[in-house]
Amino acid sequence: MLLAVGLFLFYALLFALYIKVPTALIENRITTPGATGLIVSSFTIAAMVVSLGYGQIYRHLGHYTILISMLGVGITMMLLAESRTAGLDYLISACSGVFFASTLPYAFMLGAQISPAHAENLTSSILLIGINLGVFLSPYLFNLMKLIHPDLSANTSLLIAGMGIVLLGLAFFFASPTARKEAPVQ
């Protein structure tokens, strides 16, 4: 299923945030190792809080939800690569979490829309497999990139991941069945 492949790629790129942000912060002497954990945690906390309002977000944004969410995640990852202050990193990481909050619910909603009749559980399982493989293989993907290009910094990895997520967001949006018909936005 193409949606599962998209989620695999999204999570493989997204986890650069958890892998490369701490490395970049320490490499660039922006903050201490302990503070890097707090910066990355701001992503998770913001995502958890905002995801509680997903229904309202979707009601207002409709089929644009995935486009805005993934563009926001990708752009904030690129901003994290360029940031040079811990305070700004907290803010950008939290903003990334705000955008991320709608990606997963939208993907599962889309999976339910495109799944064959009475195969919703199988579709959800396949989507979860794609997500989990992306999370599992993300460190290996970035290590492979480092082997191919030994001078690859953590900041450059974040830029690449951010650009990949932006492109993936555009692909999700234009390939989505709801993009081909006007979804009601209230």
164 Rama sector, left if φ>0, alpha if ψ -120 to 50, beta otherwise: alpha
CATH of domain 2-179: 1.20.1250.20
For the chain, list residues with pLDDT below 70: 178-186
pLDDT over 70 percentage in the chain: 95
C-alpha distances (whole Å) from 77 to each of 53, 100, 135 are 23, 11, 17
**CA-CA-CA-CA dihedral for 154, 131, 133, 130, to nearest 10:** -130
| Amino acid in position 153 | S
Can you give the pLDDT at residue 173? 87
The pLDDT assigned to 181 comes to 54
- CB-based contact 161:77 (threshold 8 Å): yes
Whole-number pLDDT of residue 1: 74
Query: Each residue of 108-161: pLDDT tens digit?
Result: 998 888 888 888 889 999 999 999 999 999 999 988 988 888 888 888 999 999
146 near 152, Cβ under 8 Å?
yes
Distance CA 71, CA 49 (A): 20
Structural domain boundaries in the chain:
2-179
User: What pLDDT does 33 receive?
Assistant: 85
pLDDT of the residue at 27? 85
What whole-number distance in Å separates Cα of residue 97 and Cα of residue 105?
14
**pTM over 0.85, yes/no:** yes
Structure confidence at residue 115 (pLDDT): 85
